[in-house]
Amino acid sequence: MIKPLEYVSRIKPYVPGKPVKELERELGITECIKLASNENPVGPSSKAVAALKAYIENGGELCRYPDGSGYYLKNALSQKLSSSSGGAKVGGEEIILGNGSNELLDIAARTFVGPGDEAVMASPSFVVYSMGVQSSGGVAREIALRDYTHDLSEMADAITPKTKVVFISNPNNPTGTINKKSEFDAFMKRVPDGILVVIDEAYFEYVRDPEYPDTLKCFAEGRDILILRTFSKIYGLASLRIGYGIARREILEEMNKIREPFNTNSLAQEAALAALGDEAHVRYSLEVNEEGKRFLYREFDELGLKYVPTEANFIYIPLDRDSKSLYDKLLRKGVIVRPVGPKELRVTVGLPEENRRFIEALKASL
Ligand SMILES: Cc1ncc(COP(=O)(O)O)c(C=O)c1O
């Protein structure tokens, strides 16, 4: 019998959030709600939906391969980034598109980490970092969070001559915390030349803290940094799978060699382009998130439930009990959240009605 590579067989498979339709089938009920995968509950921009409809109505193009270079989307991103980043110019050749930023995490690992190499990351953080490193035969050096936040000083200490990549989730999934500018700058000073810092900013549009680092400045200074962002979160396009990375041209030239040539499809590119131009949708989504955070904090306070204040669209709840049984109780009430540790739960901020449903189910389950 064929055997997988030994380091592949050791990978623990990713467990996605339970789909609403699956739960509804299991329970024989309708109107279940999913607050498990940090999607935008507002949905996508109507401009993105209109662009998709127009593209499909002009169905002739569906028989063509997509533009593998993503020319128009990269151009639009280049203009937007160059006008928003305090002077850092980002050229089209300094942008890479991915089938979700998830794919770019994987490509980065496969480009820079080989068997026996190390990558430093926090724990708990986004599980895809360690999966990508392990699938390249590398070793994930996981550094425990301090106060629910990346311990950048310990992470810098963990760098060895074998280290090729450092992954930082800012905000961190699952805790929703950020590392601030001063810590990040101090960390970057300690990273030796020849190590790629992958800074995953999937939720950066949600951040309110003015001390959030301006990583584009580091990019402009010519550092070995890969900034990853996505259309899956505030832009509400998770199902279409499209994200982007920003890095020096030389870094992306190498990553592009192993990128599948048509990795982002035409519909995703069209929708992302339209969504990028809809600032009102982003602003509204942010307002909904802020209002949802305030409501949930208030309710948690009243329940005497501990939570970690978030800079993203989800909240981390360290419990005094087993998270799986609470998760199961909530499931039976048609509310899907995410157990992210033995005693830790993560809930996505939903629409007002969804947040109320979650709180009611929580009160009945605690
Ligand atoms: C921290 C973080 N990075 C990256 C991703 C991947 O997003 P996508 O592949 O949809 O762009 C997620 C998704 O949940 C995430 O939480």
**Above 90 in pLDDT, residue 244?**
yes
d(CA 32, CA 334): 4
- Ligand 1 lined by 215 (C-beta under 6 Å): no
**Above 90 in pLDDT, residue 16?**
no
Q: How far is CA 113 from CA 110, 118, 120, 265, 272, in A?
A: 6, 7, 11, 27, 30
Give the position, in ligand 1's atom list, of the atom nearest the Cα of 171. Answer: 1
Helices 323-332 and 352-365: angle between axes, nearest 10 degrees: 120
- Separation of CA 309 and ligand 1 centre (Å): 20
For 113-127, the DSSP string reads --TT-EEEEEESS-T
- Determine the pLDDT at residue 60: 76
Cβ-based neighbours of 237, under 8 Å, separated by 6 or more: 44, 48, 231, 268, 271, 272, 275
Stated as kind and residue range, the H or E segment containing 2 is none
Please give the distance of CA 319 from its chain centroid, rounded to a whole number.
24
d(CA 293, CA 296): 5
- Tokens 């048509």 label which residue? 262
d(CA 115, CA 291): 47
Domains of the chain: 6-44+280-365 (3.90.1150.10), 46-278 (3.40.640.10)
Percent of the chain with pLDDT over 70: 99
Higher pLDDT, 121 or 84: 121
- Determine the pLDDT at residue 88: 82
- Determine the pLDDT at residue 18: 84
Residue 143: exposed, middle, or buried by beta-carbon count in 10 A (0-12, 13-18, 19+)?
buried
Task: Please say whether the beta carbons of 166 and 196 come within 8 A.
Answer: yes
Confidence class for position 62, pLDDT limits 50, 70, 90: very high
pLDDT tens-digit profile of 267-280? 999 999 999 999 99
Mean pLDDT of the region 81-90: 82
Confidence class for position 129, pLDDT limits 50, 70, 90: very high
- Please choose from 107, 200, 349 the residue to mutate so as to test ligand 1's pocket, defined by most ligand atoms within 8 A of CB: 200
d(CA 308, CA 314): 10
- Determine the pLDDT at residue 84: 79
**Above 90 in pLDDT, residue 283?**
yes
- Determine the pLDDT at residue 87: 66
Kind of pairing, strands 338-341 and 344-348?
antiparallel
What is the DSSP-derived secondary structure letter of residue 335?
E
User: Tokens representing 99?
Assistant: 């089938």
d(CA 244, CA 73): 10
pLDDT tens-digit profile of 170-226? 999 999 999 999 999 999 999 999 999 999 999 999 999 999 999 999 999 999 999
> Which residue in 142, 153, 150, 192 sits closest to 175, CA to CA?
150
**Above 90 in pLDDT, residue 86?**
no
Residue 210: exposed, middle, or buried by beta-carbon count in 10 A (0-12, 13-18, 19+)?
exposed
User: Tokens representing 7?
Assistant: 């380091």
Element counts in the chain: helices (H) and strands (E)? 14, 12
**Above 70 in pLDDT, residue 306?**
yes
- Separation of CA 2 and ligand 1 centre (Å): 32
Report the side by side order of strands in the sheet with 314-318. 314-318, 344-348, 338-341
d(CA 279, CA 97): 21
pTM given for the model: 0.97
Ligand 1, atom 6, residue with closest C-alpha: 102
- Determine the pLDDT at residue 14: 87
- Please choose from 99, 230, 234, 338 the residue to mutate so as to test ligand 1's pocket, defined by most ligand atoms within 8 A of CB: 230
Q: Which of 6-15, 44-53, 201-210, 283-292 has the lowest mean pLDDT?
A: 6-15
Task: Say whether the peptide bond before residue 171 is cis (omega within 30 degrees of 0).
Answer: yes
Q: Is 225 helix (H, G, I), strand (E, B) or coil?
A: strand
Give the position, in ligand 1's atom list, of the atom nearest the Cα of 102. Answer: 9
d(CA 30, CA 334): 8
**Above 90 in pLDDT, residue 27?**
no
Confidence class for position 340, pLDDT limits 50, 70, 90: very high
pLDDT tens-digit profile of 94-122? 999 999 999 999 999 999 999 999 999 99
- Tokens 């629409």 label which residue? 351
| Three-class secondary structure assignment of 141-181 | EEEECECCECCHHHHHHCCCCCEEEEEEECCCCCCCCCCCH
Q: Which of 28-37, 40-49, 186-195 has the lowest mean pLDDT?
A: 28-37
- Please choose from 37, 39, 107, 128 the residue to mutate so as to test ligand 1's pocket, defined by most ligand atoms within 8 A of CB: 128
Task: Please say whether the beta carbons of 346 and 174 come within 8 A.
Answer: yes
- Ligand 1 lined by 100 (C-beta under 6 Å): yes
User: Tokens representing 356?
Assistant: 């109320």
What is the DSSP-derived secondary structure letter of residue 69?
T
Give the position, in ligand 1's atom list, of the atom nearest the Cα of 38. Answer: 14
Confidence class for position 363, pLDDT limits 50, 70, 90: very high
- Determine the pLDDT at residue 312: 98
* Alpha helices in 136-245, H assignment, sequence order: 152-157, 181-190, 215-220
Average pLDDT over the chain reads 96
- Determine the pLDDT at residue 195: 98
